[in-house]
Structure 1
Amino acid sequence: MLHHFKKYLRTFFSCHLLLAGMFILNISCKDAKKEDTAVVTSTVPTKKPNILILLTDQWRAQATGYAGDPNVKTPNLDRLASESINFTNAVSGTPVCTPFRAALLTGQLPLTTGVFMNDVQLNPDALTMAKIFSAHDYDTGYIGKWHLDGHGRLQNVPPGERRQGFEFWNGNECTHDYNHSVYYDNDNPDRKIWERYDTFDQTDAALHYISDRKAIEDPFLMIVSYGTPHGPYHTAPKEYRDRFDPEKIQLRQNVPEKSQKRAKKELSGYYAHIEAIDDMIGKITQQLKDDGQWDNTIILFTSDHGDLLGSHGELKKQQPYDESIRVPMLLKLPAAANLKPSTKKVVVNSEDLLPTLLGLTNIEIPNTIEGTDFSSIIKNNEDLDNAALIRSIQPFGSWNKNRGGREYRGLRTPRYTYTRDLNGPWLLYDNQKDPYQETNLIGNKEYATIQSELDTKLTQRLKTNKDEFLPGTEYIKKWGYTVDKTGTIPYTE
């Protein structure tokens, strides 16, 4: 009885919240794309599927067993990959934490939301993933790192509009103290600390959430957002750290000699975090199977951006190199979809995830959403040679202008990476012939036609998006952000 009453209240308030958001934003819903009737009939389950998003922080696409990394073992992810669609060219269009998360939740571009740097707040009136799915009878939950509130990294994100429609909550704004990790529990305003390495305790919270819902009629949308393998790298439990000897780490060939010692040391800790997460993914997938929910659950595994870790002599993210922009992305579909596992070259971007999930669950896509719905490609087992936008609107933090940071706009296709900075063409790589991006082809006569075609396509995309490609300071002024002398938004604990 209580559950049905809660369901009524949730549906009532969710629908009114959605309608209010639509009124405020002056939006309407797009007509769903017409699909072949036979295809739709064969791919739509009779019960709405659960959606589980396993989100990691700073995990580059190259760093899994199934992607061929010689240093790390990820048997649980490898098994998931064998049952999933593997998007080998998935990118984080603005490769840094907060912008990715805003794009994931809204399906919008960073110059639309204003979320193009870390530690700013996503507009509480935004029409988000949780609000949309909640209005379609989904229970919604969030566990782990949020980084969308802008009120201090260790502060509570209180129930209500700042949680962007998520009901169940075991979240923290942002912390990298993984063994003394702050979080807040649902409606309790008191600060709590996960008792163990937070990847373990966050997984346990997810297991309880999943198990508690096995007998409930409504489907769920759950995001489990791990803070690792983001640094500090050497903080995984000792049993994982002991697996990696820095001297035995095999580096990517684009790590210059001057960076190799540090890269090996950092990678040994990075891989320790990864193997710990892999074990936890194994626990979650097993729980779904034990509870009979595996066959009717969509699983999306990905990361908010990658990590250079010495490649090109650089560290961390924001830059347009593959180690920074490319992320792992696996999509496991319900059994009723009747689709075989596959590998796809189509370049999926951050803002494409929400419309694609809506398309897969046959929910109308609101006009606020700017990303691409790739659900028809998935349902029809097709592929696409497309181009995704990559960008740095305002370089900051570890890649501020004092450290070589620059504004750029670019395209990543299945084969090429092309970028412009404010002075003109900057980088061009043939990723098929040069997978480590060691030869910049800007000005190369043999690639003059390719460069021209990509530059024209980039100009068209920027025009479509009304992106004038101004210096980052212009966007900071527009959105009223306060930055320090490095162009970074200061954050408080």
Structure 2
Amino acid sequence: MPDNVLWIITDDQPRSTLRSMDQTWRRLAQKGVRFRQGYSAMPLCGPARASMLTSLYPHNHGCDTNMTHQPFVAQGRDRDTVATRLQAAGYDTGYFGKYMNGLAQDPAYVAPGWDRWVALLDGMIDDPRVSVDGTIRKVEGQREFDRFAARRLRRFIRRHQDAPWFAIYSPTAPHGPYTPSPQHADDFDGVEWDPPALNEAHMGDKPSWLRDLPPQDRRRMQRIYEGKLEELQDVDDQVAKVLDTLRDTGQLRRTWIFFVSDNGYLLGEHRLFHKSQPYEESAGIPFLVRGPGVEPLVSGALVSQVDLMPTTLDVAGLDPDAGRDLDGRSMLGPLRSGDWSAWRRRLAVENTNLDWVLVREGSRVYIEHQDSDEWELYDLAQDPHQLTSLQDADVTEWSRRARELFGARGIAMRALEQ
């Protein structure tokens, strides 16, 4: 029987917070491949989720604002996703968690390809609504929704022991407002928050719009960091329960588990707050894979959210490029062999709404702000916190490469990554 596949997608989780999740660390990170250089296709919730479901970068799927659901459906993107392809191949499919912003305006909608649909309709209020296969229910707050969705996922796993399945669990945590359970509400009280780039003192090498930004309130940034860490303990508990269910039903050894976030999060680094920006704290995401035959490894390979769909299709024995070629590439071969020498040499990240593009190659990262014709270049080996742009560098080749990548799609784009 083909292997199962589970994606776990957290919301607004910085890479640096992964180590705080003890059970996830022990049972996923140390049992599989942990990528030090995982990236969002676009560090904003809705566009990133569209990229994961379609293996298209935003410049190809056309959804660049956070109200993603309506344009995603209007363009017909929902009719060719990882779910529709796997369902057509005989997989049972289930979605459990936050989907895309804008779904509340279309509450009866159930996305094509999903046999089981437990999706959040209103994610930013204290009394969220949930669509269960198109029937509307209410739950008491975002954390209770995360638990509700996880319970439904565990039920789905138990009921599908004898057939291959694909599922997504997408909790709202650690997205604000920060409301950890009473069990974890004091776990990180007073945690230190003093990263090197916090309220960066010398901003002359940054784009002109950044240079006069006021410093962020350090105490506020610390409180938000504390809230994220505490909410992630609740996610950690749910991940452990899902893994227990897989183990207890004899499915863990034939289930591929991918753990990512939609985007990272800036908490005062470079005087910035939130996401959407082209810095490591925002564009970088946690990225873990555990699966059958995968040996534990910490990898420096450049991986993206757009790689999730082709890898999953490959696990199912399907041609990822059947019908249309994907922007991402399958990780299955390197995951099984441990050999990443033939993997992509360069990786793209973009924000088509804010008009910046990013190219990562080796230890260097080039950022081009196309609306203002400004650029940044960092060597992360020497400057991991992006404090000093290499302003004397010749970036002609970097700029050419960026414009080629962000004008390409599918096989042509993958060729430019080599």
TM range (shorter): 0.7 to 0.9
The equivalent residue for 1:391 is: 350
Contact 1:108 1:368 in 2 (8 A): no
1:139 to 92, 103, 114: 92
How far has the Cα of 1:109 moved from its partner?
2.1
**Aligned ranges for residues 434-473 of structure 1 at < 5 Å?**
434-441=383-390, 443-444=391-392, 447-448=393-394, 451-465=395-409
Q: What is the rounded CA distance, in whole Å, between the counterparts of 1:431 and 1:452 in structure 2?
A: 20
Deviation at 1:374, TM superposition (A): 2.8
In structure 2, the CA distance between the partners of 1:84 and 1:194, relative to structure 1 (3 Å rule), is farther
Q: Tell me by how many angstroms 1:78 deviates.
A: 3.2
Q: How far apart are 1:432 and its partner, in Å?
A: 1.2
> Residue 107 of structure 2: which of 153, 156, 159 is its match?
156
4+ runs of 1 displaced by more than 4 Å? none
Counterparts of 1:471-490 in structure 2 under 5 Å?
none
Paired position in structure 1 for 2:197 = 254
Give me the identity figure in percent: 26
SS at match of 1:238: coil
| Aligned residue type for 1:212 | R
Q: Which residue of 2 aligns with 1:421?
A: 369
Q: SS of the residue aligned with 1:228?
A: coil
Q: Which residue of 2 aligns with 1:7?
A: none
For residues 220 and 397 of structure 2, the distance between their equivalents in structure 1, rounded to whole angstroms, comes to 39
Residues 48-447 of structure 1 correspond to what in structure 2 (within 5 A)? Answer: 48-65=2-19, 72-120=20-68, 121=70, 122-123=72-73, 124=76, 126-147=79-100, 150=102, 152=104, 155-159=106-110, 163-177=111-125, 180-188=127-135, 190-193=136-139, 197-214=144-161, 217-233=162-178, 235-246=179-190, 248-256=191-199, 258-259=215-216, 260-334=218-292, 338-365=293-320, 366=322, 367-383=324-340, 384=343, 386-395=345-354, 407-422=355-370, 423-441=372-390, 443-444=391-392, 447=393
Deviation at 1:368, TM superposition (A): 4.2
2:38 partner SS: coil
**Structure 1 match to 2:211:** none
Instruction: For residue 273 of structure 1, give the secondary structure of its aligned residue in structure 2.
Output: helix
1:201 Cα shift?
1.9
* Partner deviation per Cα, 1:304-357 (whole Å, 9 max, x = no partner): 0011011111111110011101111111112xxx33111221211222210122
2:187–2:230: 8 Å Cα contact kept in structure 1? yes
Amino acid at match of 2:158: S
In 2, are the aligned partners of 1:157 and 1:173 still within 8 Å (CA)? no
Matches of 1:414 and 1:385, distance apart in 2: 10
The structural deviation recorded for 1:378 is 2.3
Q: CA deviation at 1:151?
A: 5.1
Question: Larger Rg: 1 or 2?
Answer: 1
Q: Output the CA distance in 1 between the equivalents of 2:44 and 2:183.
A: 30
Deviates more, 1:263-272 or 1:118-127: 118-127
Question: What RMSD, in angstroms, separates the aligned Cα atoms of the two structures?
Answer: 2.1
User: What SS does structure 1 have at the residue aligned with 2:37?
Assistant: coil
Q: CA deviation at 1:460?
A: 2.7
2:302 aligns to what SS in structure 1? coil
3-state secondary structure, aligned to 1:346: strand
**Kept after mapping to 1: 8 A contact 2:45/2:262:** yes
| Contact 2:41 2:57 (C-alpha < 8 Å) held by counterparts | no
Whole-angstrom CA distance in 1 between matches of 2:158 and 2:332: 28
Asked if structure 2 preserves the Cα contact closer than 8 Å seen for 1:385 and 1:413, the reply is no
Q: Is the 1:50–1:297 Cα contact (8 Å) retained in structure 2?
A: yes
Per-residue deviation at 1:243?
1.4
In the aligned structure 2, how far is the partner of 1:344 from the partner of 1:158?
Answer: 39
Q: Contact between 2:193 and 2:225, CA under 8 Å: does it hold in 1?
A: no
Equivalent-residue separation in structure 2 for 1:173 and 1:427 (angstroms): 39
Q: Secondary structure at the match of 1:249?
A: coil
Alignment of 1:16-27 (within 5 A): none
**Residue deviations 1:242-277, cap 9 Å, x none?**
11223x323212112843211111111111111111
Gaps spanning 5+ residues in structure 2: where?
Answer: 201-214, 411-418
Contact 1:385 1:414 (8 Å CA) reproduced: no
Q: Determine helix, strand or coil for the equivalent of 1:175.
A: coil
Contact 1:253–1:436 (CA under 8 A) maintained in structure 2: yes
1:73 and 1:298 map into 2 onto residues whose CA distance is: 19
Query: Which amino acid in structure 2 is aligned with residue 372 of structure 1?
Result: R
Shift of 1:425: 4.1
Give, in angstroms, the shift of residue 289 of structure 1: 0.5
Moved more, 339-348 or 266-275: 339-348
Q: Give, as a single letter, the amino acid of the residue that structure 1 aligns with 2:308.
A: L
- Going from structure 1 to structure 2, the CA distance change for 1:425 and 1:175 (only over 3 Å counts) comes to same
Q: Secondary structure of the equivalent of 2:130?
A: strand
TM-score of the superposed pair, with normalisation by structure 2:
0.86
User: Cα offset for 1:194?
Assistant: 5.1
Instruction: Name the aligned partner's letter for residue 255 of structure 1.
Output: L
For 1:245 and 1:339, how far apart are their aligned partners in 2?
A: 37
CA contact (8 A) 2:41 2:51 kept: no
SS in 1 for 2:298: strand
**How many residues matched?**
384
Inter-partner Cα distance in structure 2 for 1:218 and 1:194: 33
